[in-house]
Amino acid sequence: MSDDAKKPQLGPVLSRRAILAGAAAAPLVAIRTRPARAAEFSYKLATGQSLTQPINTRLNEAIGRIKQASGGRVEIGFFPASQLGSDTDLLTQIRSGGVDFLNIAGSVLSTVAPLAGIANVGFAFSDYDQVWRAMDGDLGQRIAKQIEKTGALVVARPADNTFRQISSFTKPIRNPGDLQGYRIRVPVSPIFTSLFKSLGASPTSINFNELYTALQTHLVDGEENGLVTIEAGKIYEVQKYIAETNHIWDPFYILGNRRSMAALPEDLQALVRKEFDRAAQEQREDTLKLNATLKDQLSAKGITFEKADKDAFRKALSASGFYSEWRGKFGEDNWKALESVVGAMA
């Protein structure tokens, strides 16, 4: 988004409470009505996202609808906010069957399905129109095929883990020079590490459930995330500045364990896919509305927003060989699928 100019005008400011009605109830659990009979299929859905993020609200609603529409045959226990382990732990569990469904960021998923990282190419997407044309089109299909080679199934269209911004504690980040030697937390993802090394920073991969403490103890000076995550994770309590870089867009993938899905009759498989896909679509709208209000909310909590020189960042990445390196890693056909939506990248 120009990226500010391309943000939609949504009229009156919406409160987080209005957008995430009911989301703050803790812990989030599946809707529990007394079934006419015991569940034939008792499954687990895990996420690493904070309790009040829109993705958790919508997934919780989806599992309630699945239980109701299946007549109680499918009951899915809900375990958000890293209750069953870190992102990397959950990636192992979704493939082994330790959990049956998982919401995971594409950036983390790229550690086992490298093509998922192509959505994270620095400064590739300029707005959401480009994002959804790519992810709901040819590029998204290519990514899903590689993910499914890991043993997990993609059971819905991608949800929105938002455009990411750089937050910092010791100084504002406005241009690549401000990142020289800067200790910044990144997710456990090779392309994030590569991007910030290419910009001269000193990136450290840390799981999200350990991020707040790492910032609080100054193990790292800054981090980068979407505004939804920064607010939900209370990152604003341990940071002072946010640079509006939109440097990376990241998807959420809703995955299913292959054996768990295969155990369901075809009608129940279709039901699960339908409801999780609905959850992803609704979460996209929730996040778009929420992003329109969060800048004011975070400013009120003491965060100073900084304008970033995006052209300078792009030029630095190009000069460092970042784009040519990742073009080679992702393959020419996949890179062309990306460029068919976003335009040529140096």
Residue 31 has pLDDT above 80, yes or no: no
At residue 321 the predicted structure's pLDDT band, cuts being 50, 70 and 90, is: very high
Residue 328 has pLDDT above 50, yes or no: yes
**What is the mean predicted confidence (pLDDT) over 197-209?**
96
At residue 9 the predicted structure's pLDDT band, cuts being 50, 70 and 90, is: very low
Residue 25 has pLDDT above 60, yes or no: no
pLDDT digits (tens, 9 = 90+) for 259-285: 999 999 999 999 999 999 999 999 999
Q: What class has domain 16-342?
A: alpha beta
**What is the mean predicted confidence (pLDDT) over 278-301?**
96
At residue 329 the predicted structure's pLDDT band, cuts being 50, 70 and 90, is: very high
C-alpha to C-alpha distance for 249 and 140, rounded to whole angstroms: 14
pLDDT digits (tens, 9 = 90+) for 169-186: 999 999 999 999 999 999
Question: For 227, which DSSP code?
Answer: H
Q: What is the pLDDT of residue 346?
A: 72
Q: What is the pLDDT of residue 36?
A: 52
**What is the mean predicted confidence (pLDDT) over 204-211?**
94
99 CB-contact burial (10 Å; exposed 0-12 / middle 13-18 / buried 19+)? buried
Q: ∠167-15-11 over CA atoms, to 5°?
A: 100
Peptide bond into 35 cis (omega under 30): no
For the chain, give the percent of residues with pLDDT over 70. Answer: 89
Higher pLDDT, 1 or 102: 102
pTM for the whole thing? 0.87
Residue that is written with structure tokens 């993938």 in the block: 253
CB 291 within 8 A of CB 20: no
Peptide bond into 251 cis (omega under 30): no
Q: Which of 164, 159, 262 is nearest to 222 (CA)?
A: 164
pLDDT digits (tens, 9 = 90+) for 121-157: 999 999 999 999 999 999 999 999 999 999 999 999 9
Residue that is written with structure tokens 């995330």 in the block: 225
Question: For 149, which DSSP code?
Answer: T
User: Domain spans of the chain?
Assistant: 16-342
Residue 120 has pLDDT above 70, yes or no: yes
- Buried b / exposed e across 107-141, counting CB within 10 Å, b at 16+? bbbbbbbbbbbbbbbbbbbbbbebbbbbbeebbbe
**What is the mean predicted confidence (pLDDT) over 199-225?**
96
pLDDT digits (tens, 9 = 90+) for 38-80: 899 999 999 999 898 999 999 999 999 999 999 999 999 999 9
Residue 237 has pLDDT above 50, yes or no: yes
C-alpha to C-alpha distance for 43 and 176, rounded to whole angstroms: 46
